[in-house]
Amino acid sequence: AQSVTQLDSQVPVFEEAPVELRCNYSSSVSVYLFWYVQYPNQGLQLLLKYLSGSTLVKGINGFEAEFNKSQTSFHLRKPSVHISDTAEYFCAVSEDSNYQLIWGAGTKLIIKP
């Protein structure tokens, strides 16, 4: 069955340092990949998505992610984080054209001043 693994439940990082949040998925077919962000006490919002084309995808707030088919990964990166990036980040995968999403468990990004 399709699954999504976010390897880190929490990632602490100093302000202005780079960060990578890891996401791996299991699927033998073409997939669509998404990262969502959830700020404290809010709903989720789309950060970026990969549907086809370039494997490097840029999103909002300076985030980007790279689709690696051979490693079945879609890691999220930001070169310099800010305190406002404190949030939980969710990776999600879909195999079908209805975009039914399978979700990872989430990674909490903790920014240290």
Partner 1 sequence: NAGVTQTPKFQVLKTGQSMTLQCAQDMNHEYMSWYRQDPGMGLRLIHYSVGAGITDQGEVPNGYNVSRSTTEDFPLRLLSAAPSQTSVYFCASGLGGELFFGEGSRLTVL
Residues that bind partner 1 (CB under 8 A): 9, 32, 34, 36, 41-46, 49, 51, 90, 94, 98-101, 103-106
Q: Of 49, 93, 101, 89, whose CA–CA distance to 72 is shortest? A: 93
User: Which H or E run includes 102?
Assistant: strand 102-103
Q: Which two tokens stand for residue 78?
A: 């930001």
**Residue with smaller CB distance to partner 1, 19 or 90:** 90
CB of 14 to partner 1, least distance (A): 25
**Residue with smaller CB distance to partner 1, 74 or 90:** 90
User: What's the gap between Cα 98 and its chain centre?
Assistant: 20
CB of 15 to partner 1, least distance (A): 26
